[in-house]
Amino acid sequence: MSTKLILSFSLCLMVLSCSAQLLPWQKGQRSRPHHGHQQFQHQCDIQRLTASEPSRRVRSEAGVTEIWDHDTPEFQCAGFVAIRVVIQPGGLLLPSYSNAPYITFVEQGRGVQGVVVPGCPETFQSGSEFEYPRSERGRHSRQSESEESSPGDQRYRQSESEESSRGDQSSRQSESEESSPGDQHQKIFRIREGDVIPSPAGVVQWTHNNGDNDLISITLYDANSFQNQLDENVRNFFLAGQSKQSREDRRSQRQTREEGSDRQSRESDDDEALLEANVLSGFQDEILQEIFPNVDQETISKLRGETDQRGFIVQARDLKLRVPEEYEEELQRERGDRKRGGSGGSNGLEQAFCNLKFKQNVNRPSRADVFNPRAGRINTVNSNNLPILEFIQLSAQHVVLYKNAILGPRWNLNAHSALYVTRGEGRVQVVGDEGRSVFDDNVQRGQILVVPQGFAVVLKAGNEGLEWVELKNDDNAITSPIAGKTSVLRAIPVEVLANSYDISTKEAFRLKNGRQEVEVFRPFQSRDEKQRERFSRV
């Protein structure tokens, strides 16, 4: 009896230990950290906003990393750090993790993304082709036949034919030989333009550009997140590579900055924290040799990156990754759920986090949350359609405005937002809590405009339209429009509006019901323009 109690107690300890390792991002923690929101709250006294472009470029062998100046009042208020990464064809952004969660939007190109979550199993193999269960082969046979056959596919079909002609015993033996482990690793998936990719703090990610054009992405870090236990600075910890500058050059530049202005020194130190060094370079050779006893001294030196000056985006050689298609990913996830559920060995933690999706595309018109055929559309990704966002308290919105269309005015109830323009140009007006304009200017592709919580913003597209992505520091950011069918004015009684603005009830009714659209408005048309449009349709 005592033995059973001891075993039960040990099992409970194992479950609690796994819980702590697999779920370090608790769902209920929604408050900003003590070193973020409260200590730096005075920095949200915004007098003027600026639409800015990157202030620093760091070149690597196969790409460029561009960093925004995050020492401005609006970036400090929101706790945002923004970088843009350009990966050339064949380039590899080396594996790294950060002390703060972040969210990435793929602006251009396509590639392969890898994610390494601590405590999750290596469920992918690169040494063998993807294998369907027997019950699923018929369902996917038509799709498989339409794809180009590879030598691996031919070997698989030949092996399947041979298995069917043998007995059950030889069939099981053949399947065992085919499923022998090759190179096992955690999940990888395809990425393309419009994908949103989140990452909790401490999770390793890497990116490979396997396309023909540059892969461009914008990443927003939340330095004020509860997951950041350091200070207001964001730090990237690379597991490979080295800055193109030598250590002596960095020391010399650091000494020069210490003799210069405080602001310049602080900005450069923050940038170095984003792109400075490989964490393995700080360990001594003898320690690394004990940890990795099967490698030689040359490999140890390369682990430390002692002579590596390629930067953190390198040109990959002979990188051939077997990446499952989307339908294969879903099927593999289903198989994993059935396997764990049927074996009785699952505690639910792998299904709760390890199987979560790490991407969602916001560039599909068919999935628009708001659509106006004459004005544009809005696609939103939040914790409702990408549950991992609940762990990192971030979300995104992609907005497309047609020629001269208007979005807003509206404000964020519970989040700051960073607007990054991806196409076109247009005019933006932002009004702060003092009732005066803090921004009234044109924006264009490549610029970021940070809009603090509660500040009202309106955007009007130019003649070429306007597209942007909004990255927000809440997993379910809520906006409140001032005009339109779902607006705050629409929800207020006419008599209250009439007394509030000292107008007649007739004018108040017209004010309340003048726009029947939702958030995205077509441009104003005069009576003559409306008649010409009506005749053109006829």
Give residue 245's Cα distance to chain centre. Answer: 29
Q: Tell me what the pLDDT averaged over the chain comes to.
A: 78
What phi and psi values does residue 37 have, to the nearest 5 degrees? -65, -40
pLDDT-based confidence at 244, cuts 50/70/90?
A: low
* pLDDT level of residue 174 (50, 70, 90 thresholds): very low
pLDDT in tens, 65-76: 999 999 999 999
Q: Indicate the range of 6-20, 39-53, 426-440, 450-464 predicted with least confidence.
A: 6-20
Alpha-carbon distance of 191 to 358, in angstroms, equals 10
The residue with greater pLDDT, 376 or 335, is: 376
Pairing type for strands 110-116 and 102-108 reads unpaired
Question: What pLDDT, on the 0 to 100 scale, is given for residue 394?
Answer: 96
User: Which residue would you say has higher pLDDT here, 23 or 104?
Assistant: 104
CA–CA separation, 486 vs 264, rounded Å? 46
Q: What is the mean pLDDT of residues 46-71?
A: 94
In the chain the first and final C-alpha atoms are separated, in Å, by: 88
Under the banding of pLDDT at 50, 70 and 90, the label for residue 135 is very low
Burial class (CB in 10 A: 0-12, 13-18, 19+), 183: exposed
Q: Name beta bridge partners: 426.
A: 443, 461
List of E strands, 193-299: 195-199, 204-208, 215-222, 236-238
Give the residue-averaged pLDDT of 369-391.
95
> pTM for the complete prediction?
0.77
* 3-state secondary structure at position 84: strand
Closest to 82 in 3D by CA, of 60, 52, 107: 52
Lowest mean pLDDT among 27-31, 139-143, 247-251, 318-322: 139-143
Residue pair 306/247 in contact (Cβ under 8 Å)? The answer is no
pLDDT class of 85 with cuts at 50, 70, 90: very high
Residue 131 pLDDT exceeds 60: no
- Asked whether residue 530 carries a pLDDT value surpassing 90, the answer given is no
Residue 328: predicted pLDDT: 59
pLDDT of 481 reads 95
| Residue at 38: amino acid letter | Q
Mean pLDDT for the stretch of residues 339-362? 64
Q: Do domains 51-122+183-247+272-327 and 362-484+519-536 have the same CATH topology?
A: yes
Reply yes or no on whether the pLDDT at 148 is more than 60: no
Both tokens assigned to 317: 């050689």
Cis peptide before 409 (omega within 30 of 0): yes
Torsion region of 26: left, alpha or beta (phi above 0 gives left; psi -120 to 50 gives alpha)? beta
Q: Is 344 helix (H, G, I), strand (E, B) or coil?
A: coil
Torsion of CA 246, 250, 251, 256, to 10 degrees: 140
The whole-number average pLDDT for the span 195-211 is 95
Q: Are 279 and 288 in contact (CB under 8 A)?
A: no
Domain boundaries, the chain: 51-122+183-247+272-327, 362-484+519-536
Name the nearest CA neighbour of 378 among 403, 414, 408: 408
Count of other CB atoms within 10 angstroms of residue 510: 12
Closest CA to 74 of 452, 459, 471: 452
CA angle 183/186/188 to nearest 5° reads 100
- Order of strands across the sheet that contains 215-222: 56-60, 63-67, 80-87, 215-222, 102-108, 195-199, 360-361
Cα 103 to chain centroid distance, Å, stands at 3
Query: How wide is the angle at C-alpha 437 spanned by C-alphas 436 and 443, nearest 5°?
Result: 170
Q: How confident is the model at residue 324 (pLDDT cuts 50, 70, 90)?
A: confident
> In the prediction, which pLDDT does 3 show?
55
Which overall architecture, per CATH, does domain 51-122+183-247+272-327 show?
Answer: Sandwich (2.60)
* Mean pLDDT within 274-296: 87
Contact 197, 103 (CB under 8 A): yes
The strand pairing partners of 456, in sequence order, are: 431
Name which of 128-137, 182-191, 284-293 the model is least confident about: 128-137
Helix (H, G, I), strand (E, B) or coil at 459: strand
- The answer to whether 85 and 59 have CB atoms below 8 angstroms apart is no
Give the burial class of 527: count Cβ atoms within 10 A of its Cβ; 0-12 exposed, 13-18 middle, 19 or more buried: exposed
440: β partners = 429
- Is 362-484+519-536 in CATH node 3.30.70.20? no
Token pair listed for 3: 């033995």
How far apart, in Å, are the Cα atoms of 289 and each of 54, 221, 239, 404, 426? Answer: 41, 35, 17, 63, 57
CB neighbour list of residue 207: distance below 8 Å, 6 or more residues apart? 85, 87, 92, 93, 111, 112, 113, 114, 191, 215, 217
Q: How far apart are CA 436 and CA 273, in angstroms?
A: 37
